[in-house]
């Protein structure tokens, strides 16, 4: 964890990409007491693990019997 004083933080905020690039977490202190903690933004969730719709459709087996035949057979069994 990197520690900065209020003065260092104010001076560094003109170039935040340089100031925060290497630090995981920054603690801003005033007279030795912590006043703020700067954390990195959480990374966006990538779509690497999410299958596409086409992949999901490909996994579902193709229905050989039309749905109306299946529904009619189930209804006839109930009667």
pLDDT digits (tens, 9 = 90+) for 13-50: 787 777 777 778 888 999 989 999 988 777 666 667 78
The strand pairing partners of 5, in sequence order, are 29
pLDDT at 3 over 90: no
- Cα 75 to the chain's mean position, in Å? 45
Domains of the chain: which residue ranges?
2-38
Q: Which residues pair with 28 in a beta bridge?
A: 4, 36
- The encoded tokens of residue 64 equal 């050989």
Q: What is the tens place of the pLDDT at every residue in 44-76?
A: 666 677 888 898 889 988 889 999 999 999 999
Q: Which two tokens stand for residue 53?
A: 């719709």
Give the integer Cα–Cα distance in Å for 4 and 14: 15
Burial of 18 (0-12, 13-18, 19+ CB in 10 A): exposed
pLDDT at 43: 63
């Amino acid at each position: 964890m990197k520690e900065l004083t209020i003065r260092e933080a104010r001076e560094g905020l003109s170039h935040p990409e340089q100031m925060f690039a290497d630090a995981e977490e920054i603690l801003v202190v005033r007279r030795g007491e912590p006043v703020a903690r700067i954390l990195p933004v959480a990374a966006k969730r990538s779509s690497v693990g999410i299958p596409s719709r086409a992949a999901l459709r490909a996994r579902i087996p193709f229905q050989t019997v039309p749905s109306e035949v299946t529904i009619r057979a189930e209804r006839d069994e109930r009667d």
